[in-house]
Each structure stands twice: as structure tokens, then as C-alpha cells.
Structure 1
């Protein structure tokens, strides 16, 4: 399994090397490119923390996650279906991938870096810095209770105000069913934690 994964990383890097020559690495905030950048920066942050705590198994599991997140976008790049933003995001994500494998697979990392056109060694380069704006989730999942019993969840923007949260909760099917057409007596909102509807 480990050998297959090493081969997979090598294939991803080869696709990037062939499809993205001369493309500058660039983080993106929106769309498919934004999803690639967010995945890369979140995993970069997590792997750095795992390595500091000597959590190598967790770090490797996250490297698997990044390889999975890169597979489809890199295939789109190879097939000519990618815009400039996605190309830049993929280039950056592949470079991050090479850096985060370096502590656990140094020889592979150096070969991959050379394939990407790197002139110096990965081991001599500084550890990449993640963008704090890309590692924050813009949405949260709030558990929703009706009369103190959990009935479901609500996914909503992290910065939604209490009025928007209440409106979204009261629109949920399971809440409307529990209320049976009546107005709730009270809606208790603990910001970014939980919502309780008192029927």
C-alpha cells in the first residue's frame, strides 16, 4: 500500500511538471481553485502541527488527503479544462505536497522537486507558510434541538447574525413538523454552538 502511494505522489508530480511549466504558484479564494488552495493550506497547517507533536501517522494520513484532493483538479489541468486560477492553485498545492512529504520521504521529495524544476534542495528551503484566511471555515454546523432533544443540524455562514440563524432554523422541515404550524415559545441560540427551539 505504501509503495502504491509513493507511485501515486510521483504520478501527480509528473502531471504537474508536464502540465504546469512556467506557472507561478498562487493561492485562490473562490471556486474550484479556492477549494484546492483551502485544502492545501489546511493540510499544510495540520501537518506542521502533527510533525511538531511527533504525530507522524496523522501527518501521513493528511498527506493522503491532499493527494486525494489534488487528483481531479490535476487531471482537469492535464486535459486543458483549467483556467489560470486553477493552474496557479494546483501548482502551489503540488509544491506544498512536496514540502510536506520531505520529513517522511526525503528522497522522493527531492526527486519530485527536481521534476518540478527546483534547483536547490527541498531540505534547504524554508517550510511553507499557510495563509490564515484559507484555513478558517466560512460555514459552521449547528446542532438543532426541539424541546431539549436533538432533531438535526443546520449548516450556516459562520458570521450569520442571530436573526438569520433563527429564520433558517424555523425553516427546517423537522422544526416545522415539531411546531405543527404554531409559533415557537422561544428560540435559544448559543452563538456558534447550538440552537434550541421551545415549542
Structure 2
């Protein structure tokens, strides 16, 4: 369950960072889209909490995630945010609460997902550590099942790795 709590916290802080940046640029539509995505991410955990199937760490993470969600919607839906804020028995008004600060450790990405193309056509993805070098990425791509099936023993003419962008295999 600790992994679930960590996933909820990561989603909350990542969304907090992104929505904060969007609001500073007056990007309300983008903010709303990110909030929808965030709600879809945390909903399964909130359901577990409401059913009583969550441990204390998940409950705590969901409480924090809910408070952050309320603060994220407050600039766009102040009346709803105030009603939700009082339901959670939070002190004062959400409008007077300080904007929450995201935790940089929870926002940092440890892995990157590369789209993998074979002969210019996307065939799948590879998720690997952000700091992986080119050789490690190449070995990991060639070890993927869908790559081995598609190559089917043919020699690879080129294997192109564009760091933090894409991997393309030419056979």
C-alpha cells in the first residue's frame, strides 16, 4: 500500500506544479484538462479509502491529494471549492489559504518512456531510467519482445536513439 500512497502523492505534486505554471500563464483550459487527468488518477485510491480498504498512509496521501485538488479548482470554481473545503473540516476559507508548494522530489521523473519505431512505424514503447546511456537503451530496445518478433532474425541496418525523444530501428 505504501507504493499506492507514493503514487497518489506524486500525482498530486506533479499536477500542482503543472497547474500552477498554467495558471500563471492564464492557461485555464490546460489547467482544467490537467485537473481532469489528476482526478482520474486518484479516483481509484479515493474509492479504496471510502470503502475502508486503505491503510493509514494511503488515507493520509488521499487527504493531502484532496486538499490540493480543492485548492487547484478554487480559482475557477470558488463556491464549489469553499463547500468542499468546509466538508474536509479545513481551517478558514480556501480563498485565504496559501497556495500549496509542490515537493520537487516527488515531481522529479526517474524514468523516461521512449516510443519505439521499426522502419518508421511506431510499434511500442520502452520505459527506462532517465540517465541511461545510449548503449543501455539500444540493448534494452533489442531485448523487447515486439522488436524481436518484428525483426525476426533480420540484421538491423540502423538503430537510431535520439535522447529523450525516440528510438528508431531500420531493418
TM-score w.r.t. structure 1 length? 0.72
Shift in alpha-carbon separation, 1:165–1:116, aligned structure 2, 3 A: same
Shift in alpha-carbon separation, 1:171–1:34, aligned structure 2, 3 A: same
Out of 89, 103, 106, the position equivalent to 2:78 is: 106
Out of 107, 110, 116, the position equivalent to 1:135 is: 107
Aligned to 2:121: 150
Task: Say what the alpha-carbon RMSD is for the aligned residues.
Answer: 2.5
Aligned to 1:162: 134
Shift in alpha-carbon separation, 1:185–1:87, aligned structure 2, 3 A: same
In structure 2, distance between residues paired with 1:177 and 1:67:
37
Aligned to 2:45: 73
Cα distance, 1:54 vs structure 2: 1.7
Cα distance, 1:107 vs structure 2: 2.1
- 2:143 is aligned with 1:171: yes
Contact 1:141–1:153 (Cα < 8 Å) also in 2: no
Structure 1 unaligned runs (5+)?
1-27
In structure 2, distance between residues paired with 1:196 and 1:63:
33
SS state of the match for residue 134, structure 1? Answer: helix
Aligned to 1:125: 97
Aligned to 1:90: 62
Cα distance, 1:177 vs structure 2: 4.2
SS state of the match for residue 43, structure 2? Answer: helix
In structure 2, distance between residues paired with 1:142 and 1:185:
20
TM-score w.r.t. structure 2 length? 0.82
Cα distance, 1:187 vs structure 2: 3.2
Structure 2 unaligned runs (5+)?
none
In structure 1, distance between residues paired with 2:24 and 2:116:
37
Cα distance, 1:112 vs structure 2: 1.9
